Amino acid sequence: MALKLMGVPIHDVDFAATVTWIDRWIAEGGAHTIATVNTEFLMGARKDSTFRAALQRAALCVPDSVGVLWAAKYKGHPLRERVAGSDLVPQLAQVAAQRGWRIFLLGAAPGVAEKAAAILTVRNPGLQVAGCYAGSPSPDEAAEIVARIRASAADIIFVAYGAPKQDLWLDKYLSQTGAAVGIGIGGAFDFIAGVSQRAPVWIQRLGLEWLHRLITQPWRWRRQLALPHFVALVLLGRDDIG
Ligand code: UDP
């Protein structure tokens, strides 16, 4: 039986398996959303049935955080590895350059996606950037964004609007863009462009990226209370909803 946390399925995929799915979906066509699920997503989905339903419809919910890995293990469903949105963008850019996939970078503050794309192109010669656009998750802008992506003939869209906006956007509009795969990736462009600082790898390995983020972005403290709250609910067996 597949693992569900707060009614959200979590798929036991590692990076290689994620690439295999993407490869297949780009060959087949259609619209497939990938959600990079962390504890903030799960605590949001617990309260918000619209967000929960969007995540349930996603083709793949990958485990983005150590909190999700811990809960899976605690519940007897150990997962292969953390597949973080912040890692997916640089890693998939490398695969995209090799396979000729066209990527579109949507979201973040104006200019950030362009800067991230320029850096990714230098690191991965031959990378085909179909387009970059900050835009906004507001429904008023959706038609224009969809038209831009459609005209770009992108295969993969990375969407940086934060959760739940990026995932709701993909749930609603990905199928109109012509792209086979859409991935919500949070602050990944900010990290690549150097707008914000990712935790050093040794801190990530210790499972303390959340602590680094709390120290470097202290205004997020209220949102990060999701982690201890989530742990308490899992320990109490109150994660089984929807
Ligand atoms: N963002 C945006 N438009 C919005 C809200 C957010 O472009 O209306 C961008 C923001 O600039 C950042 C990313 O979305 O690049 C969200 O980053 P965050 O680190 O907050 O991601 P989360 O942890 O929420 O997934």
Full DSSP string of 145-203: HHHHHHHHT-SEEEEES-TTHHHHHHHHHHHHH--SEEEE-TTHHHHHHTSSPPPPHHH
Phi and psi at 145, nearest 5°, equal -65, -45
Please tell me the distance between residue 167's alpha carbon and the centre of ligand 1 in angstroms: 12
* Ligand 1 atom 24: residue of nearest CA: 162
Q: What is the pLDDT of residues 178-229, one digit of tens each?
A: 999 999 999 999 999 999 999 999 999 999 999 999 999 999 988 889 999 9
Q: What is the pLDDT of residues 49-107, one digit of tens each?
A: 999 999 999 999 999 999 999 999 999 999 999 999 999 999 999 999 999 999 999 99
* Ligand 1 atom 19: residue of nearest CA: 187
189 lines ligand 1 (CB under 6 A): yes
Residue of 190, 191, 197, 220 best suited for mutating to test ligand 1, as the one with most atoms within 8 Å of CB: 190
Q: Which residues pair with 33 in a beta bridge?
A: 182
Please tell me the distance between residue 164's alpha carbon and the centre of ligand 1 in angstroms: 10
